[in-house]
């Protein structure tokens, strides 16, 4: 092992994944050194993180919050340099002294810094699934072109990565399918006809995982799983027909790979994101993560439900949009992601109903006509157009 501590930039350090990442890093001070942090609105937490981890840089993407942070840090005699605005995220992601970047910003706002880290050849730990859903093949070209190492942090994709053979070239010939597990979220057994009455608080109350609000709503609609199907397609290079989703309410089996000889390899653990985070940080080695051990003596039965069972298709209509978007023109996954970000925000602000999230997503996919984006600027332009369209739809729907 390289004796020098690895320098890491944690983008989105004030979020759920960011906080868990700092917890794992603090357990291994000889191995890792925090080089840069970033936050958007939770400035008190970002301030406390700067004092605890003493990074070289901190990025406050909101300029006003950045100015306040700068004076507070100066008053404490901190040597951390405050940078402001979104362009600074790219700077600390691609900085020549950085070895690894944890991409834990939520939504397409994290795309540019992911591409910057990829082009600069970093080890890129990807929690920010929306960046890959939007960037698609352009994102993967940046990874290949820059010689970066892309490692999944989503627990399902980490599980698949841990179950696959090391020889990536063999995957298309030895893997029959990958099976993503889904907990089913808070509404797995709810009557679909009552989904119109769901409140933001109910949608954010996930039974197994404690997460940020956007991903919690995505878990409740299963759009999170749709985004993960798209993420899996780009990460593992398998055609979408070889990606399956199965409901597993206990979230103990984090996902599985079925091989051509019908052997199934799975990865298990308690639902705690510090597990996949530690694996991404240490791969191909393993380090202590702080996660509790599975207790087989007390674990109740593990259960599985196919997606076709019961009323799941009526309950979670958004899941199918993943395969539809992957089969359509390049850029369609970016349109789907943009519509969903707008729809979820409108739901959280109580402008539209829970069941209308899918209506906005589907209508945006159907209405928007575009040519396949060939570059990042064209992709970002498409993202903006899709957002504007979804915004208008959401306004028209209003509760
Ligand atoms: N949480 C999980 O267990 C989990 C599991 C798998 C994958 N993921 C993925 O990981 C990503 C982060 O999820 P999370 O649950 O950690 O979300 P979160 O708790 O909402 O945190 C999001 C982070 O992004 C920052 N941010 C928000 N809007 C921003 C903007 N416009 N520009 C720059 N930064 C911005 C936030 O800053 P402030 O808080 O300071 O505003 C925060 O640091 C998501 O893509 C999610 O799908 C999460």
For residue range 83-137, list pLDDT tens digits in order.
Answer: 999 999 999 999 999 999 999 999 999 999 999 999 999 999 999 999 999 999 9
CA-nearest residue, atom 43 of ligand 1:
12
Question: How far apart (Å, rounded) are the C-alpha atoms in residues 332 and 83?
Answer: 34
CA-nearest residue for atom 2, ligand 1, is 211
Question: How much is the mean pLDDT over the chain?
Answer: 96
**CA 52 centroid distance within chain:** 26
Question: In this model, does residue 244 exceed pLDDT 60?
Answer: yes
Q: Are 353 and 347 in contact (CB under 8 A)?
A: yes
* pLDDT score of 216 more than 80: yes
Is any atom of ligand 1 closer than 6 Å to the C-beta of 345? no
pLDDT at 310 over 90: no
Q: How far is CA 212 from CA 15, 104, 215, 227, 296, in A?
A: 7, 11, 6, 16, 29
Say if residue 64's pLDDT is above 90: no
Q: State in Å: Cα 384 to ligand 1 middle.
A: 20
Q: Which tokens go with 62? A: 């909101």
What is the share, in percent, of the chain residues with pLDDT greater than 90?
Answer: 93
134 in contact with ligand 1, CB cutoff 6 A:
no
Cα–ligand 1 centroid distance for 311 (angstroms): 31
Q: What is the pLDDT of residue 118?
A: 98
pLDDT score, position 307:
87
* pLDDT value, residue 50: 98
CA 226 – ligand 1 centroid, Å: 18
Query: Residues 4-43: pLDDT tens digits?
Result: 999 999 999 999 999 999 999 999 999 999 999 999 999 9
Decide: pTM greater than 0.95: yes
Average pLDDT over residues 158-176: 97
What was the pLDDT predicted at 2?
53
Distance 146 CA to ligand 1 centre (A): 25
Q: How far is the CA of 43 from the centre of ligand 1 (A)?
A: 14
What is the share, in percent, of the chain residues with pLDDT greater than 70? 99
Cβ of 132 closer than 6 Å to ligand 1, yes or no, is no
- Whether the pLDDT of residue 63 is over 90: the answer is no
Q: Cα of 102 to ligand 1 centre, how many Å?
A: 11
For residue 240, CA distances in Å to 132, 176, 323, 387 come to 15, 12, 6, 25
Which strands form 264-268's sheet, in the order they lie side by side?
264-268, 253-259, 175-182, 243-247, 305-306
Q: Is 227 in the pocket of ligand 1 (CB under 6 A)?
A: no
The model's pLDDT over 142-155, given as tens digits with 9 standing for 90+, comes to 999 999 999 999 99
The pLDDT score that the predictor gives to residue 264 is 98
Pocket test for ligand 1, best of 15, 108, 214, 232 (most atoms within 8 A of CB): 15
Show the tokens assigned to 231.
């993420």
Which pLDDT band holds residue 399 (cuts at 50, 70, 90)? low
| Closest atom, ligand 1, to C-alpha of 215 | 47
What is the C-alpha to C-alpha distance for residues 90 and 117, in angstroms, rounded to an integer?
A: 7
18 CA: nearest ligand 1 atom: 16
219 lines ligand 1 (CB under 6 A): no
């Amino acid at each position: 092992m390289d004796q020098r501590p690895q320098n890491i930039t944690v983008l989105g350090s004030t979020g759920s994944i960011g906080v868990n990442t700092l917890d794992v890093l603090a357990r291994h001070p000889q191995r890792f050194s925090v080089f840069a942090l970033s936050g958007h609105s939770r400035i008190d937490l970002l301030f406390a993180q700067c004092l605890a981890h003493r990074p070289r840089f901190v990025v406050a993407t909101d300029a006003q919050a950045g100015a306040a942070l700068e004076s507070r840090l100066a008053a404490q005699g901190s040597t951390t340099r405050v940078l402001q605005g979104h362009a600074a995220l790219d700077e600390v992601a691609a900085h020549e002294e950085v070895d690894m970047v944890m991409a834990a910003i939520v939504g397409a706002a994290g795309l540019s810094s992911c591409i910057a880290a990829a082009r600069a050849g970093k080890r890129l730990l990807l929690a920010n699934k929306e960046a890959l859903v939007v960037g698609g093949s352009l994102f993967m070209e940046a990874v290949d072109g820059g010689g970066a190492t892309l490692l999944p942090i989503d627990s399902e994709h980490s599980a698949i990565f841990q179950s696959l053979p090391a020889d990536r070239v063999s995957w298309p010939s030895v893997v029959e399918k990958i099976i993503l597990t889904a907990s089913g979220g808070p509404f797995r057994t709810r009557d679909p006809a009552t989904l119109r009455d769901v409140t933001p608080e109910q949608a954010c109350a996930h039974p197994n995982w404690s997460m940020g609000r956007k991903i919690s709503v995505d878990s409740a609609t299963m759009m999170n799983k749709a985004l993960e199907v798209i993420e899996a397609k780009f990460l593992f290079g398998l055609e979408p027909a070889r990606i399956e989703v199965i409901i597993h309410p206990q979230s103990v089996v984090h996902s599985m790979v079925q091989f051509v000889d019908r052997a199934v390899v799975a990865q298990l653990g308690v639902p705690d994101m510090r597990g996949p985070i530690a694996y991404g940080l240490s791969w191909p080695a393993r380090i202590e993560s702080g996660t509790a051990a599975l207790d087989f003596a007390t674990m109740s039965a593990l259960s599985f439900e196919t997606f076709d069972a019961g009323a799941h298709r009526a309950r979670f209509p958004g899941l199918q949009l993943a395969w539809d978007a992957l089969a359509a023109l390049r850029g369609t996954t970016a349109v789907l992601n943009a519509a969903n970000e707008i729809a979820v925000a409108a739901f959280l602000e109580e402008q539209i109903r829970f069941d209308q999230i899918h209506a906005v997503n589907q209508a945006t996919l159907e209405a928007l006509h575009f040519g396949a984006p060939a570059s990042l600027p064209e992709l970002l332009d498409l993202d903006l157009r899709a957002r504007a369209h979804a915004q208008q739809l959401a306004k028209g729907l209003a509760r």
